[in-house]
Amino acid sequence: MTAESTSPAAKATAENLDALSYEEAREQLVAVVGRLEAGGASLEESLALWERGEALAKRCEEWLEGARRRLAAARSKGDDDSPTAG
């Protein structure tokens, strides 16, 4: 799928995801998984839930990767600030 073929609804969903905190995205992901596991949704609803779940999981991973980078930077800075044994 190219950027030109992305639907306005998909773009709006992506924008909405960008505004979510990690906790909000994770909570929504848990709800999506619960709905999928419960069954009873139509095929189209299930596919929409799956796609939303994939997008939420990606957003959570982005948050976690950002946290990893911040921790690595803080550790690196801490190593730079520590006195060296001489």
The domain segmentation of the chain, as residue ranges, is 7-79
Q: Where are the alpha helices (DSSP H) in 19-42?
A: 22-38
Q: Tell me the per-residue pLDDT of 3-47, one tens digit each, with 9 for 90 and over.
A: 444 545 555 566 689 899 999 999 999 999 999 999 999 999 999
pLDDT for the residue 1: 40
pLDDT for the residue 36: 96
Region 46-50: mean pLDDT is: 96
Cα–Cα distances in Å, from 68 out to 41, 52, 65, 75, 79? 37, 24, 5, 10, 16
HSE of 11 in the Cβ direction (CA atoms, 13 Å)? 7
pLDDT for the residue 16: 86
